[in-house]
Amino acid sequence: MSASPSTRRVLAAVLAAGALVGAAAVPAAAHDDDRHGHRGRHSSIVIGDVRHDGHGHGHGRDTRALNREWVEVKNTGRHAVNLHGFTLTDRDGNRYRFNRLRLDGRSSVRVHTGSGRDTRSDVYQDRRHQVWDERDTATLRDDRGNVVDTETWGRRGHHDDRRR
């Protein structure tokens, strides 16, 4: 049994309209996915709190004083991020490179200046002298050298740990 020409035209129109609606929906979904990809590869990784030794007490070899100085790196996202190869630098070029650290979602790690045993929440630069000054900038870069986040403190209008 064969459909009449008018039935075939109506069926063709319905199929064509369905194809147009489907085609219009695909770019919208793809655009939504692309939008999330443009926020940056590690956009959930940020510099959090900073604790510096603004009085210069950490210049000696006192490990406790040096370990009271730290920069917090936070993962604000839900998924874990491998920080292997990421670097944290100060304004003077002192650099700490993360080694084999997977930062869970919605967690943080403190990067201490002095010496200690690395854990999931605290890592140590093993330095003998203060790194972070009362006026400084911390820059976090990913494993390709791209700037992920920066934090400046000690200047008017910028972050100052004493006010937190």
Residues 18-46, mean pLDDT to the nearest whole number:
46
pTM above 0.85? no
**Averaged pLDDT, 23-39:** 34
Over residues 138-149, the pLDDT tens digits come to 999 999 999 999
Look at residue 27 in the predicted model and tell me its pLDDT: 38
Is residue 43 within 8 A of residue 123, CB to CB? The reply is no
Task: Check pLDDT > 70 for residue 17.
Answer: no
pLDDT at position 75 over 90: yes
Are the C-beta atoms of residues 37 and 48 closer than 8 Å to each other?
no
Q: How many CB atoms lie within 10 A of CB 52?
A: 25
Question: DSSP string spanning 37-89?
Answer: HTT-TTTTEEEEEEE--TTSGGGSS-HHHHHT-EEEEEE-SSS-EE-TT-EEE
